Amino acid sequence: MKENNRRRRFRPVASGLLGVLMPFALSSTAQTPPASLASVSQAPAALPVNLENAPAPSPTQPMPWRVSLRPDQVQPLPAGFNVAAIESMAEQLTYGNRVPGIAMAIVQNGRILSARGYGVTDIGNPQPVDAHTVFRLASLSKAFAGTMAGLLVNDGTLRWDSKVTDYVPGFRLATPEATGKLTVADVLSHRVGLPYNAYDRDVEANADYYTLTRKLASAPLKCDPGECYAYQNVAFSLIGDVVYAASGSFYEQAVERRLFKPLGMNDASMGLAGIQASPHWARPHVRSRNGWVSLMPKPTYYRVAPAAGVNASASDMAQWLLAHTGHRPDVLPAPLLATLHAPLITTPGEMRSGWRHQRLDSAGYALGWRVFDYSGHPVVFHAGAVQGYRGLVALLPERDLGIAILWNGESSVPSGLMPTILDHAIGLPAQRWLDVDVDFGSDNLMVEGTQDNAPQGKKGIVSNRATASPR
């Protein structure tokens, strides 16, 4: 249970995650902070992220919550942080019919500590999952959408407070006032004003995206845009239309050109055709009375590409994590990252069950990312799920650590791997989040260096320095 006297406030965040951050990110957006928050930019300490008590951000203007600290202020991982033990846990999760296959990437301080696969791609035609096996990311795709929009803001071709109707003039909500008020930041932070998951059932019934966006005009509003949170897939995907109108490139092409290629995400793709064209990809699996059954991926949520359209491997996710931990400033500048990871609205519903109930003191949503107070430590996070696939991504700024876990079965069991790693990295008392054996007492405390350091019989990238895109 949570300690009653625990401080419900994020601690100051070290900028090893972001390199050497500028105090605030708005200098990269050609925007001026609102008067009510402008004075905060002079504060010497990190902004508080107790989301109940923090200064309320403008409904249209993101404000970053990180203040730069020197790289030497990033806390090292505990001496007993054991990558080999974590890899063993991931591998054990593929035993005994728990889940068919898993891909995992761990990066820290600009290095890839692990990027590997475990188990099989298809229970009916078993091939080993490796570092380049492609999985469907589902809602982990939302961070790509926020980042893509952020690059256009950084370019000066878009603003966070740009009105959606300036780029999608045919768009309508239930009232003209709400229609005209909705901004880019509102869309990316799920502050559209619609009920939760508006028209997701229609997505699952195979309706096309443009039919669904027209139906948004008939959806009742629970609040004005910018004033309340409700998770969306259809409305979130309006950002794809905005990207097209602002850049002149189709959303999928823009993501490939601005993110996949420069980051060296060479296995990554968009859409159903993208995953099926991959040389090596993991099939989705559902449970039956006789165990796992592999399926073909459904096209449904691929139709809302910004919300759920990306496919990627462990190798790709390692590059993505390096970029979002600030080690690819040539592609994602530190001020932009600070803004993307800044919470804009509280999401207390994220604290109700499982490890989140045990560990979270507050929760919020940023621009395609969630932001948690994890037992007093800030964590930037997202989860994803569609039929037959699940995934989790987390960034732990204080330790300059990034983690991605993907699997190809409808099981919640691997979810416990994420809090296990976070607890281990922070040094929190151990909780048994997983039903697998683990020994963190091995002499092999940190798997680094070259491929020769890998445990016998295991394949994949073990460690690699962050470098420019290999090709």
Q: What pLDDT was estimated at residue 430?
A: 85
Contact 8, 52 (CB under 8 A): yes
Contact 341, 147 (CB under 8 A): no
Domain limits, the chain: 83-141+250-453
Q: What pLDDT was estimated at residue 448?
A: 29
List pLDDT tens digits, range 375-417: 999 999 999 999 999 999 999 999 999 999 999 999 999 999 9
Report residues of the chain scoring pLDDT below 70: 1-71, 73, 437-471
C-alpha dist (Å) from residue 66 to 14, 177, 341, 343: 8, 33, 9, 11
Q: What pLDDT was estimated at residue 97?
A: 86
DSSP labels for 94-114? TSTTS-SEEEEEEEETTEEEE
Assign a CATH topology to domain 83-141+250-453. Beta-lactamase (3.40.710)
b/e sequence 179-203, b meaning 16+ C-beta within 10 Å: bebbbbbbbbbbbbbbeeebbbeeb
Q: What pLDDT was estimated at residue 117?
A: 98
Residues 118 and 401: their CA atoms lie apart, in Å, by 21
User: How is residue 420 written in tokens?
Assistant: 């296990």
Residues 147 and 215: their CA atoms lie apart, in Å, by 27
User: How is residue 356 written in tokens?
Assistant: 């989140």
Residues 9 and 12: their CA atoms lie apart, in Å, by 9
C-alpha dist (Å) from residue 417 to 95, 153, 249: 15, 35, 38
Residues 253 and 267: their CA atoms lie apart, in Å, by 15
Residues 7 and 405: their CA atoms lie apart, in Å, by 29
For residue 368, the Cα-to-chain-centroid distance in whole angstroms is 7
Residues 345 and 365: their CA atoms lie apart, in Å, by 6
- Cα torsion angle, 412, 461, 81, 318, sign: negative
Helix H, strand E, coil C: the string for 218-233 is HCCCCCCCCCCCCCCC
Q: What pLDDT was estimated at residue 74?
A: 81
Q: What pLDDT was estimated at residue 31?
A: 42
